[in-house]
Structure 1
Amino acid sequence: MQLLSVLLLIPLAAALPTLFEKKLQSISVTGKLICNGKPYEHAKVKLYDENLALPDRFLAEEKSLADGTYTITGNTTRYFTIDPKLNLYHNCNDEKVECWRKVQIRIPKEYISDGTDKKTFDAGVLNISGQLPGESRDCIN
């Protein structure tokens, strides 16, 4: 009986390290920002792994280009699947206000890649002239 218990524990013990192994996960996002019908340059584009109990984990930062486009890729090594989100910080129609307008976009899990990024989430063309749902202000970004 003890021999049988030991024989059953061997495969379980061999599998445990892979069950609790950290894995590299990557995310890539592309999009375009428009302000008053024109491409919006110099918006801050930040990628995070959202955490409920801890501060969000910063993954990457870029800026939108002269044509309003951005592409950002980030990765992290985690035990569990990441919860990626994209934060866009801009001053469209608000240049004199110190605190930037902040738009948050959650990235669907099907765009998370194991290892290097294999799929890119297209956030599309976003008109940031008006207030967007869930928009907030961020003075620290």
Structure 2
Amino acid sequence: MLRSLHVFLFVILISIVSAGYQTVRVYGKLTCKGQPYGGAKIKLYDHDTFTLDDKLAEGRSNADGTFDLEGMGNERTRLNVKMNIYHRCDKTIPLCYYKHSFPIPYSYISAGPRATNPYNVQTLELSMIEKERDCFNKK
């Protein structure tokens, strides 16, 4: 009986430890009215239903509009990744940022510490995508 309990606890421990890391990498280019848009804040999150989202990575677009972010999470279930872009493209009064959020397909999430299938969002024209106002991400 005690041996069975030890085996059971060992199996549980192994399953917890082996839940493992999942990694996502997203890259692309941002433009505003056809011009490269540098300085946009980009964040990758694991979207959680019942708790706060977990931030996986954060960065900014380069002067030429390009960005490349890789983030890693340790979840027992599949990561539910979304990318948020904060910018001021086409904004006349710079009090707040515009925010655009969209999901990253599951097929671009890799098991392990390195992303093996990066997601290329191509070129995103910020003046043309649906957005909302965000006054909390000011830096």
TM-score tier after normalising by the smaller chain length: 0.7 to 0.9
Aligned-partner SS, 1:17: helix
- Please tell me whether residue 108 in structure 1 is matched to residue 108 in structure 2: no
The alpha-carbon deviation at position 77 of structure 1 amounts to 1.2
The alpha-carbon deviation at position 95 of structure 1 amounts to 4.9
- Please tell me whether residue 34 in structure 1 is matched to residue 19 in structure 2: no
Matched residue, 1:124: 122
Instruction: Tell me the C-alpha RMSD between the 2 structures.
Output: 1.9
Q: Once the two structures are superposed, what CA deviation does each residue of 1:1-20 show, in whole Å capped at 9, x if it has no partner? A: x9xxx6xx897665443444
Structure 1 gap ranges (5+): none
- Alignment of structure 1 residues 8-19 onto 2, 5 Å: 15-19=11-15
TM-score normalised by the chain length of structure 2? 0.85
Runs of 4+ in 1 over 3 A off after TM superposition: 9-21
The alpha-carbon deviation at position 72 of structure 1 amounts to 0.3
TM-score normalised by the chain length of structure 1? 0.84
Equivalent residue letter for 2:61: S
Aligned length: 133
User: More deviation in 11-20 or 25-34?
Assistant: 11-20
Given candidates 123, 133, 139, the residue that maps to 2:135 is 139
Aligned counterparts of 1:93 and 1:86: Cα–Cα separation in 2:
20
Structure 2 gap ranges (5+): none
Aligned counterparts of 1:89 and 1:127: Cα–Cα separation in 2:
13
Aligned-partner SS, 2:93: coil
